Amino acid sequence: MTLPADIFVDVNVSLAGAVADKFSFGTLLGAFAHSETANRVDGPYASVSELDDAGFDSSATPEINAWGSAVFAQDSGVDSLLIGRIDAGDLSLTASLDAIEAEAGDGGFYLLNAETRIDADIVLAAAWAEARRMLYVAQSSDADILTGAGGNIAEDLAALGYHRTGLIYHRYDDSSGGDAASDGYLDGAWSSRCGGLKVDAPAGAGTWAFKELSGVTFDPLSLAQATAVYANDANLFGRAKGLSFTSKGTAASGRFLDVTTSLDWLTVRLEEALLELLVGAPTKIPYTSAGLNLFRGASQLVFDRGVSYGHLSPDTPATIVMPRVETVASADKAARTLTYTAAAVLAGGIQRVIFNVTVEQ
C-alpha cells in the first residue's frame, strides 16, 4: 500500500489576502426613548424572545417590543435588529442620532426607523439621514396627507427633495392602535421586508413596492386619498383585488428607493474591491499597463456581479475607460494618482403595466 504523505510531511495551504469588512445593507436600527440600558446602541437581536430576554419586553418597553414584533413578523425580513437609545437629556433628535451613530460606528446600520411621529422630528431625521449612506423610513398618520392639504409632512419632505427618506402613511401611530401591538409599526415591517432583500445574491435586488407585510393591517384608502399620497411621493400599504401590498416604493424626492440602494451597493462594492487590491498587493501595483489592468479587472468583477444580482442591466453592459499609460499626465504619475471612468445602466424594474387589447367578433 502507499503510505499517506502527511505521516512524514504535514503541509497546510490556505488562501490569504486582504479582505475588507463587507457593508451590510440589511442592518436595521430603531431609535427609541428608553432607560433599560445606558447604551446608545443595543443588540443585535435576532428574535422577539431575545428582545424579551434583554429587558425590552412588552411591559418595560411596549413600543420597542411592538416595533420588534413587526420587524420579525416578516418571513423574508432582516435577520436581526439594533436598538438605538434616545436620551431625555439630548438637545434634539439630531443629537440623539449623532450619539447613536458614534457608538454604532461608521456604517453600523443602513436602515433607520424612529419612534417619533412628530413632523418636525421627522424632518430632522430626514436631514440627518440625507448626509449619510443609509435610508430612513418614516411613518405618519397625518390626515392632511390624504387630502393634500398644504403644509403636511409629505409635502414638506417632497419640497426638500430627499433621496434617502421614504415616508409611508399609516392610520396607526403606536402599539395602542390596531388589532395587535405591532400594527402601529408599518415602518418596521416595511423596512424589514425590503432590508431582507438579498442584494448580494443572484437576482436579489428588488423594489420596495408590491410587498405584502405580516403583522400590520392595510389602510382602506379611497382612490382620491391614494392619489393625494402619491402626489407628494409618499407611500402607503393598501389593498387591491384582495391583495394587501406597499406602493409606490419612492423616496421623498420621487426617486425609487431601490435606485438609491443599487447606487449605494455599486459604490460600496467598488470601494471595497479597489481598496482590497491596493492593500493586498505584496509590494506595489506598478504604474504600468499591467497595473492599470488590475484595477480594470477588479472593477469589472463588481459590474458583473451587479448584473447577476439585479442591480445593473445585462442589456447594456458596463464600459470601463482606462487611459493608456503613455497618455497619463506626468503630474498624476508623480502623485501616484490613477483616474479612470466607467458607465453603467441600472436594471430598474416594472411597476406599472399598460396593456391594450383589441377583440374582434
CB neighbours of residue 4 within 10 Å: 7
280-324 pLDDT per residue, tens: 999 999 999 999 999 999 999 999 999 999 999 999 999 999 999
Residue bearing cell 456581479:
305
Q: Give the pLDDT of residue 119.
A: 97
Q: Give the pLDDT of residue 307.
A: 98
Collapse the DSSP code of 350 into the 3-class scheme (helix H, G, I; strand E, B; otherwise coil) and give the result.
Answer: coil
- List phi, psi (to 5°) of 278: -65, -45
The mean of the pLDDT values for the chain is 95
110-132 pLDDT per residue, tens: 999 999 999 999 999 999 999 99
52-73 pLDDT per residue, tens: 999 999 999 999 999 999 999 9
- Report whether 182 contacts 61 (CB < 8 A): no
Q: Could you tell me the pTM of the whole model? A: 0.93
- List phi, psi (to 5°) of 34: -160, 170
Radius of gyration of the chain (CA): 24
- 4: pLDDT strictly greater than 90: no
Distance CA 81, CA 131 (A): 22
The three cell numbers of residue 165 are: 427618506
One-character DSSP codes across 32-64: EE--S-S-SEEEEE-SHHHHHHTT--TTT-HHH
Q: Give the pLDDT of residue 190.
A: 98
Q: Give the pLDDT of residue 20.
A: 64
The closest of 121, 134, 97 to 267, measured between CA atoms, is: 134
68 Cβ contact list (under 8 Å, min separation 6): 30, 45, 48, 51, 56, 81, 188
Q: Give the pLDDT of residue 115.
A: 97
- 14: pLDDT strictly greater than 70: no
Q: Give the pLDDT of residue 97.
A: 98
The three cell numbers of residue 263 are: 447606487
pLDDT band at 23 (very low <50, low <70, confident <90, very high): confident
182-224 pLDDT per residue, tens: 999 999 999 999 999 999 999 999 999 999 999 999 999 999 9
Q: Give the pLDDT of residue 173.
A: 95
- Residue 176 gets the label, from left (phi > 0), alpha (psi -120 to 50) or beta, of alpha
pLDDT band at 133 (very low <50, low <70, confident <90, very high): very high
Distance CA 210, CA 351 (A): 8
